[in-house]
Amino acid sequence: MSAAAGAGITRRPFGRLADGQPVDEVTLDNGRGLVLSAVNLGGAVTSLQCPDRHRRPGNVVLALAAPCDERHVGRNFGTLVGRYANRIAGACFTLDGQPHVLPANDGTNTLHGGPAGFGARWWSIDELPPQADGSIAVELGLCSDDGDQGFPGRLEVKVRYTLTPAQEWRIDYQARSDRATVVNLTHHAYWNLAGGGSALGHRLMLAASRYAAVDARLVPLRYDSVDGTPFDFRRLREVAERLRDDHEQIVLAHGYDHHWVIDRPAPGLVPAARLEDPLSGRVLEIETTEPGLQFYSGNFLDGSLVSRAGRTLRQGDGLCLETQHAPDAPHRADELPGVTLRPGQTWRSTTVHRFGVVA
């Protein structure tokens, strides 16, 4: 399939960081109504336009009004996340008998790589030649030094954002290290397929029969069946349907902030989630090579942040569907493998977001 008329990549100045580093916004347009904009700071997606059932465009991700403002840097709002997405309990782990102490930025946990994780970093963004199937892409790059946020190894990361003619946003991750380390990369987009208002009326399906029950620190204790619980999304169900249940896990997390284990029939890309907005008709389908997904219902959006659309952001205005390895896996490497990266190896992951509509 050839590139559609109007497809292409543009770049414009976006702002500067506190240290004077310039930030650009790069926009990919697949010529078929799917338009993604991203900036160097955190690789953050500042807009993702896609059509509704009436072919009207709308932005389906939340973005901050001033993402370069130092007060917002590190909030992981629409950014890439690393070196280790989600929580590491006790802000430490041991690898090959050597302890590593990390900064605690979530109570006693390290969350999303620490206070200066990858979502707070400047990423290079390079345009790539158009692909044979008409896809367009950019490659983002970051080098994380040995000891960065306490993690061992000099880690070189490349992330590719691709828009395809099939209305897909594909993210391909790869990382290499000169020392044994742990890696868990994801993207922290806040989705609202309506383009505004609350996302709690969206309908969600998760291809998962088990979820991680957590303690008061939101660190996994065990993996339970979703049967008979508010965590059973194996069929499409409104997000708000059981969000106010008195189930212990809902109370602990102030909503949903849990890891689901994807029912994986085979290696490679498999379905992980489906999200529908009845009002606009927009549909998001997610496939991934990852073993799990963190569903977060935006519980801690409290009105202290303002969106690019000029609205104060509150609980449920957006929700996250973060494909990833399990939280705290460095403490359970025998049970939850796949996060250790050794010299000479390449860590790889792919997630595909496919957009469509229902009548």
Active site residues: 188, 322
For 239, the token pair is 């997000």
**For residue 287, which of 302, 268, 265 has the smallest C-alpha distance?**
268
**For residue 63, which of 224, 188, 178 has the smallest C-alpha distance?**
188
What are residue 35's DSSP bridge partners? 29, 49
At residue 251's C-alpha, the angle toward residues 202 and 188, to 5°, is: 50
Instruction: Return left, alpha or beta for 183; rule: phi > 0 is left, psi -120 to 50 is alpha, else beta.
Output: beta
Question: What is d(CA 347, CA 344) in angstroms, rounded to the nearest whole number?
Answer: 10
Half-sphere exposure for 160 (CA within 13 Å, toward CB)? 17
How far separated are the first and last CA of the chain, in Å rounded?
A: 26
- CB burial class (10 A; 0-12, 13-18, 19+) of residue 251? exposed
